[in-house]
Amino acid sequence: MYIRLKSRLKPYVQDFFKRVFNSLNFHTKNTPLVGKIAWGDFNRITPISSNFGFDRGGAIDRYYIESFLASEASLIKGNVLEIADNFYSLKFGGSAITKSNILHLNENAPGATYVADLGQENSMPSDYFDCIILTQTLQYIYDFKLALKNCYRMLKKGGTLLLTVPGISPIEAGEWRKFWLWSFNEASIHKICTELFEGEDYIINSYGNVYAAISFLHGIGISEVDKAKLDVRDSAFDVVLTLRLTK
């Protein structure tokens, strides 16, 4: 009889001690118990914004991109090339720039200095630019290794490539959606650089954490988040990867 009673009581005893354990807060602080998550505004299957958060005060990935470019602003000087427009060149290079160039795929693009495809063999000048700013572009280029080789070829000796690529990210919902081919992480960028630039001077960094990744996936604006939390790095949740490569 004692054995039968013990076997019947066992599940209840286990449940009792589990509840005592949880009530004493031995589990990770601020971690909801199983089944007790308050989903709130995240209880949905569509993002809060489908425009990366630009319609809610600015995209979170831009916070990381601009932080990176601000930290490398002293290298944005001389003859500078940027993709699509020269917004970041002028913002972070300013008077240190002697010539501001824009590379575009479309020959009718306003202000385009060069028309070429980085993912193809092209006629872009070699050993010519002091700095190339290539932000959030590599994901659209199928042969991204050739694009990086082209950038390296185009740099003067001592020139610098400032590159950013997406990690965890929504995919462009508009006309560029079908061209979005890649996302990256810290390991893949290291592997690519080892293959292409072994022995060269380069630094790779990753930005993001689970808070940043979830916020970015939902299109929450930069003005709506705690920037101190964005600054905490967790390489398990790469949102933006950066590369500084000096030739």
**What's residue 30's pLDDT?**
77
CATH code: domain 30-246 is 3.40.50.150
Partnered with residue 80 across adjacent β-strands are: 100, 131
Quote the mean pLDDT of the chain.
Answer: 91
Tell me what the mean pLDDT of segment 226-245 comes to: 97
pTM of structure: 0.86
Burial state string for 119-152 with b = 16 or more CB within 10 A and e = fewer than 16:
beeeebeeeebbbbbbbbbbbbbeebebbbebbb
Amino acid present at 106: N
| Domain-wise residue ranges, the chain | 30-246
Q: In whole angstroms, give the CA distance from residue 106 to residue 20.
A: 66
pLDDT in tens, 5-56: 455 555 555 555 555 555 554 445 678 899 889 999 999 999 999 999 999 9
pLDDT tens figures, 72-94: 999 999 999 999 999 999 999 99
Q: What is the rounded distance in angstroms from the CA atom of residue 162 to the CA atom of residue 78?
A: 14
116, 122 Cβ separation under 8 angstroms: yes
Range list of H helices, 24-81: 60-71
